[in-house]
Amino acid sequence: MKTKALLVIPIVLLFSNPAQGQDWFTGISYGVAFPTSDTKDFTEDTSWRNWSFDVLYQLKPNTALGVNFGWNVFTVITDFDEVSELENVDIGGVKYRYTNSFPMLVTVRQFVGTQGGMRPFFGLGVGTQLVKRSVDVSTFRISGDTWHFALAPEVGVVLPLNSDAKWFLSAKYNYGVKSSDKTESYFGLNIGVAWQTGGF
């Protein structure tokens, strides 16, 4: 798949150099997400189950290249009167609808400020996004998977915690380009903690 191939070369470059003397930033974050477009049509509720993992390599004092992996879960419960269509099948009754989104991105971030202090940043992620939709009714499940070319603009700030760790806050818009007649997208607010070596 072409979108998967977009990840290969930057990841190889990111991890192929010797670790000694390099400046790394490894973080994990939790977030709240607000669905938009077709994601909202299928699972319209705000999501409180969102995680992501980042690894950044500092190319220059203010520029970092990295990878981002995420897991975002949207859920909604519908009533007896609503009928949903999934994979060309109509389903009636109490239903649990789920959207699980797994973005896999190569990221570039540009920082401002001085190393060791508060550092606002803006960035862009490019890659692919696997979306798994499902409807549960009683013991039955109908599900479908789609892959999307993905873009994720982001703004945020990194705040010093101690000499080895930092807090970071960010706002990100994950946009999965239309695939199988569906556009998968959502806006997220995230808070995380990161460990660093060297700069940042």
The phi and psi torsions of 77 (rounded to 5 degrees) equal: -110, 130
CA-closest candidate to residue 22, choices 58, 66, 53: 58
pLDDT of residue 19: 42
Q: What is the pLDDT along the chain (200 residues), one digit of tens a residue?
A: 554 544 544 444 444 444 444 589 999 999 999 999 999 999 999 999 999 999 999 999 899 999 999 999 999 987 655 565 555 666 666 788 999 999 999 999 999 988 888 999 999 999 999 999 998 887 778 888 999 999 999 999 999 988 789 999 999 999 999 887 888 999 999 999 999 887 77
Strands (E), the chain: 24-36, 47-60, 63-78, 83-86, 89-92, 95-111, 119-137, 140-160, 165-179, 182-197
pLDDT of residue 117: 87
CB 156 within 8 A of CB 168: yes
Which pair of tokens denotes residue 147?
Answer: 């892959």
Long-range residue pairs from 16-23, CB within 8 A, at least 24 positions apart, any chain: 21/198, 22/57, 22/58, 22/197, 22/198, 23/57, 23/58, 23/196, 23/197, 23/198, 23/199, 23/200
pLDDT of residue 13: 44
pLDDT of residue 43: 93
Strands 24-36 and 47-60: antiparallel
pLDDT in tens, 3-36: 454 454 444 444 444 444 458 999 999 999 999 9
Per-domain residue ranges of the chain: 26-197
pLDDT of residue 99: 96
DSSP assigned state of 199? -
Neighbours of 103 (CB within 10 A): 26
- End-to-end Cα separation, the chain, in angstroms: 34
Q: What angle do CA 74, 76, 79 make, to 5 degrees?
A: 165
pTM: 0.80
CA distances from 105 to 15, 80, 82, 176 (A): 15, 39, 36, 11
pLDDT of residue 182: 84
Q: Does domain 26-197 have CATH number 3.40.50.1000?
A: no
